């Protein structure tokens, strides 16, 4: 029970896509364990955390948790009638 494995379930080293927010540019930090909540950091912080360059790595664009909430609030249906 005391064995600690370096490999994390659900994450293939070197092949995981880097999720970047298309609005504010924050990058999602890797999960340390299953169930770890999403953490969004700046590109610079990400590179510092993992000692790597983001340039040249596969990036997928998405919304970070903050921008997603903001986006959902903005697109919520409004009953304003623009037409006469
Ligand atoms: Zn964002």
The model's pLDDT over 27-81, given as tens digits with 9 standing for 90+, comes to 999 988 889 888 999 999 999 999 999 999 999 999 999 999 999 999 887 666 6
Exposed (0-12), middle (13-18) or buried (19+): which is 64, by Cβ within 10 Å?
A: buried
Residue 12 Cα to ligand 1 midpoint, Å, equals: 25
pLDDT > 70? residue 12 = no
Whole-model pTM: value is 0.67
Higher pLDDT residue, 12 or 15?
A: 15
What average pLDDT score do residues 7-28 get?
Answer: 74
Instruction: State the distance from the centre of ligand 1 to the C-alpha of 61, rounded, in angstroms.
Output: 10
Does residue 84 have a pLDDT over 90? no
**5 CA from centroid of ligand 1 (Å):** 32
3-state SS class at 20:
strand
Report the pLDDT value the prediction gives residue 82, as an integer from 0 to 100: 65
Does position 15 have pLDDT exceeding 90, yes or no? no
């Amino acid at each position: 029970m005391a064995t600690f494995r370096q490999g994390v379930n659900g994450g293939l080293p070197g092949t995981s896509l880097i999720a970047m927010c298309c609005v504010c540019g924050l990058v999602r930090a890797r999960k340390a364990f299953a169930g770890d909540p999403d953490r969004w950091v700046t590109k610079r912080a990400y590179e510092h955390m993992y000692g790597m360059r983001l340039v040249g790595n596969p990036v997928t664009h998405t919304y970070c948790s903050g921008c997603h909430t903001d986006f959902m609030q903005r697109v919520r249906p409004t009953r304003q009638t623009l037409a006469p």
